[in-house]
Structure 1
């Protein structure tokens, strides 16, 4: 199925914004740079995104959709419920390697715009809640050792992942995510 012209333009804009917002930050990326690097007319951008904040919200939402789709594909390859929990860590290592340990795109966007735009914050919170809900579902199905309640283990995994990704972005390597995975493996 061919994309409609408007969707092609939107994808060009979002692809460019995604790259620039992630690499150089939302605040350091100007609309004119997005327009120039997407090779589109200014009117085309404003036809689809009235403001830079609208573009950021769309970026966060699309990043969330793509992130979750890739994560589900990874988890669907794993049969054992406990291994699914551990696959979360492997998936995040792979994503951080691809991003050269640049950190979480949602945390980065939150640091720059989460406090100033409630729509950005809501989109980021939705992405993080989605992650937490998935972890809760995986924990409930895992048959873990019951050292912790399902709720406690789900929170522990979420916090361990979030912290490990932040640490990996500082130390530019997978060691912290691998260590978090080993710790969680002892709990399940």
Structure 2
């Protein structure tokens, strides 16, 4: 059996992603992780601290999956097209659950500044990657917004249709830019 901290984090990874932040209580996490309340608080001073740990682990997982998915791309255009294919893959794998960061952001009040900071930091890292690859602030912002909206709309409609249409827009954007 794994260590209590690992069980807590592992349990939170599933529950926060599937149920969200507000619908997941500390008592449920404690029960499903098979730890005592004292053990929980020994490792995390609050549910917010556990949520931040969840975000860090989720981000690492998601980036690792994305990098693996696009690793055989031969061109920058193919890399971006495969990035959108990755969204389809994740929708199928996770039953259109969408973005854990945006889902939780919609649940929490603005005064949870530390959680909001972590969300912005991780989203900023994704934006930075797009900008680093494209070296064109306007184009990378456009593609980033298309990428994020593809996640949201596919979750809303439980369909990959708009991701497929976004790929057509992406192809036009990339072909009309200086990136070939």
Q: What TM-score, normalized by structure 1, do the two folds share?
A: 0.87
Q: Could you say which residue in structure 2 is the equivalent of 1:85? A: 80
* Higher mean C-alpha deviation, range 68-77 or range 41-50: 68-77
Matched, 1:24 2:10: no
How far apart are 1:114 and its partner, in Å? 5.8
- Once residues 91 and 10 of structure 2 are traced to their aligned partners in structure 1, the CA distance between those partners, rounded to angstroms, is 18
- Once residues 63 and 114 of structure 1 are traced to their aligned partners in structure 2, the CA distance between those partners, rounded to angstroms, is 21
Q: Could you say which residue in structure 2 is the equivalent of 1:135? A: 130
- Once residues 170 and 109 of structure 2 are traced to their aligned partners in structure 1, the CA distance between those partners, rounded to angstroms, is 30
Aligned length: 174
- Once residues 38 and 141 of structure 2 are traced to their aligned partners in structure 1, the CA distance between those partners, rounded to angstroms, is 45
Q: CA RMSD in A?
A: 1.6
Matched, 1:164 2:150: yes
Residue of 64, 70, 88 corresponding to 1:75: 70
How far apart are 1:173 and its partner, in Å? 1.5
Q: Could you say which residue in structure 1 is the equivalent of 2:161? A: 175
Q: Could you say which residue in structure 1 is the equivalent of 2:4? A: 9
Matched, 1:54 2:40: no
Gaps of 5+ in 1: 141-149
* Higher mean C-alpha deviation, range 122-131 or range 40-49: 40-49
> Tell me, what secondary structure is at the counterpart of 1:123?
helix
Matched, 1:96 2:98: no
How far apart are 1:158 and its partner, in Å? 0.6
- Once residues 109 and 161 of structure 2 are traced to their aligned partners in structure 1, the CA distance between those partners, rounded to angstroms, is 29
Gaps of 5+ in 2: 175-180
Q: Could you say which residue in structure 2 is the equivalent of 1:36? A: 31
Could you list the per-position Cα deviations for residues 102-139 of structure 1 after superposition, in whole angstroms to 9, with x for gaps in the alignment? 11111011112262311111111111011101111222
Contact 1:165 1:176 (C-alpha < 8 Å) held by counterparts: no
Contact 1:114 1:121 (C-alpha < 8 Å) held by counterparts: no
Contact 1:114 1:120 (C-alpha < 8 Å) held by counterparts: no
> Tell me, what secondary structure is at the counterpart of 1:101?
coil
Could you list the per-position Cα deviations for residues 54-111 of structure 1 after superposition, in whole angstroms to 9, with x for gaps in the alignment? 1111111111111112222223221211101111101111112212111111101111
